[in-house]
Chain A
Amino acid sequence: MINLHDLTIKKTHDLLINKEISAFHLTKEFFDYIEQRDKKIGAYLSLHRDEALEQANEIDKKISSKEEIGMLAGIPIAIKDNILVKNHTCTSGSKILENYKATYDATVIKKLKKSGAIILGKTNLDEFAMGSSTETSAFQITKNPLDETCVPGGSSGGSAAAVASHQAIASLGSDTGGSVRQPASFCGLVGLKPTYGAVSRFGLAALASSLDQIGTFTKTVEDAALMLETISGEDKNDNTSMPFTFKTSDTKNLLTLKGIKIGIIKECFDNNLNPEIKTTIDANIKILEDLGAEIKTISLPHIAASLPCYYILMPAEASANLARYDGLRYANSKIDKNLKDLYFEHRGKNFGQEVRRRIMLGAFVLSSGYYDAYYLKAKKVQQLIKDEFRNAFNECDVLISPTTPSEAFKIGEKTQDPVSMYLSDIFTVPANIAGLPAISLPIKRENALPYGLQLTAKHFDEKTLLAISYLLEKAM
């Protein structure tokens, strides 16, 4: 009997190559566990049982014929249901895609399959990744495995809950404004959002294309590095992707933090911050200092403008991206009305409340007479924030802040007040606005829900980001 709770990618890999377990049995064990555990949690929307077991068999054959296998070979992982896996449904958490079957693999899926990773199934999310609690999903509520009366965060709440409840070893999510880091923080996991351009988004249902990034949930920093190494790189199908390569071994390059400068973002630690979060982050700053890092206080005067800026740019892009759901594509019904009626009825009926709200908000901020005051203004504020980050990185290597302003909140607590829901992303949105890589590391607390500590690095400097995270994780 394998204890699924202890498994990381690294440990599982060792068990597999030492033939202490077979990939087939491990995968079967996961499905058996999911069958009972997920009734309570609701992390998965669909399972790929037959295909996963078949894939696992292939890995076992390779192992028994002494073929060398990669680190992810035979590792059971979960995928957010807005990333395409060929021949499987991809709902994006929306009724409008309830019956849509993907006709191709997203680039990240191609890469994972090539590496031998086992895809267990697709996980729940806020509809089209619009939300911070996974409650806007058209299908089900996902519960926080650490406290089932609380949300797992969102929008990648299913992917976070799957790993936190040991129903997968790692998972993929997408992060447009914090949708990986915020649920990682709420569920006590490592959540990584790579640099904009480090990972191809081909095959990811677009929310806001200038901000969207695919990220990972894992139990350890090393596992995050292994996932990033596999999924990153330039892709001709995503013109924003860059020739970025990352080696997991680089994560272990630092032995101390001597010579590393870490900036505390002053504006994130003002008087409004929950004093308990401040105390726990301070304790970790002390650890970083003890490891040899030089700690500085850095000011990013307009960082607080990131969130209002985001709520202009994101809906503007979303309203355009979601125009494709027209009732002609991805629909099941035969067409028996005129085009305009079809649009109105199909979109009105099948988009949920939050999605409709953001589409209309997007239409508003882009509409004639308001474009300059909203969209153009937001683009300029975005530039200002980018410049402030650039200046900050002239003085330090990484920046530190909390991931979220609170621990996981109760199910239903914020659903009636959109702005209070949006505010739970206040510390995560800046990295998307500036396209920077950021990671949330879990700060575990006794008899209480965890907090997340966020580190943000320069563009494409995942190497430093993960090396510091690795040392901090060991010392925590």
Chain B
Amino acid sequence: MIEKLINKKTVENLAELSRLDIKESEQEKIAEDLNSILNYIKELEQVPTQGINLDFVKKTNKEFRHDIPQENVTERESLIEPFKDRDGKFLKIPPIF
């Protein structure tokens, strides 16, 4: 039995969170696919994980690099280059509100 965690309403909400324009006609198929994936993922519930400490909080021997500003024109150029709408060194974006 496939448990239905996701319905058309959830798809609408996820699309909103993900900033994706999704047509209403597509919602049902997306819900169906996501449910079948989540149903597969449910297998994880069977795996015992009590007392497991996570590695990702352990200290690694990697050091953060020092925060020293560097004059690096190529990097700056390569960062702003992908913005097509520019005025000199200013990037044009639409108003937020």
Contact = CB atoms under 8 A, between A and B. Distances in A.
Interface of A: 100, 103-104, 236, 239-240, 242, 302, 304-305, 308-309, 311-312, 319, 323, 326, 328-335, 337-340, 342-345, 347-349, 351, 356-357, 359-361, 363-364, 367, 374, 377-381, 383-384, 386, 417-419, 422
15 contacts: A236-B65, A240-B62, A309-B44, A319-B18, A323-B19, A328-B91, A347-B18, A357-B34, A364-B34, A377-B45, A381-B49, A383-B53, A418-B37, A419-B37, A422-B37
B24 interface: no
Contacts of A356: 18, 20, 22, 30
A364 B40 contact: no
Interface in B49-96: 49, 52-56, 62, 64-65, 74-75, 77-78, 81-85, 91-96
The 4 closest A-B pairs by CB, nearest first: A348-B21, A103-B78, A380-B49, A343-B19
A377 B44 contact: yes
B55 to A, nearest CB: 6
A348 B19 CA distance: 8
B17 interface: yes
Contacts of A338: 94-95
B10 to A, nearest CB: 8
B1 interface: no
Contacts of B33: 357, 418
B74 A104 contact: yes
A431 B11 CA distance: 32
B81 A302 contact: no
A386 B49 contact: no
B44 A383 contact: no
Interface residues of B, number: 48
Most buried by A among B34, B49, B85: B49
A189 to B, nearest CB: 29
Contact of B94 (A236, A337, A383): A337
A339 B55 contact: no
Contacts of B55: 383, 386
Given A305-B43, A367-B17, A377-B44, A342 B94 contact: yes
B21 A349 contact: yes
B17 A363 contact: yes
A384 B47 contact: yes
Nearest to A378: B44
B83 A360 contact: no
A347 B20 CA distance: 6
Given A305-B47, A364-B14, A374-B41, A329 B82 contact: yes
A360 B47 contact: no
Contacts of A343: 19
A361 B47 CA distance: 21
Nearest to B15: A360
Contact of B14 (A100, A308, A330, A360): A360
B7 interface: no
Contacts of A344: 19-21
B40 A308 contact: yes
Given A383-B53, A383-B55, A345 B21 contact: yes
Contact of A377 (B49, B81, B92, B96): B49
A383 B84 CA distance: 43
A132 B41 CA distance: 18
Given A309-B44, A311-B37, A361-B37, A328 B93 contact: yes
Given A364-B14, A381-B49, 10 more contacts: A239-B64, A311-B37, A328-B85, A329-B83, A332-B84, A334-B85, A339-B96, A348-B21, A386-B55, A418-B33
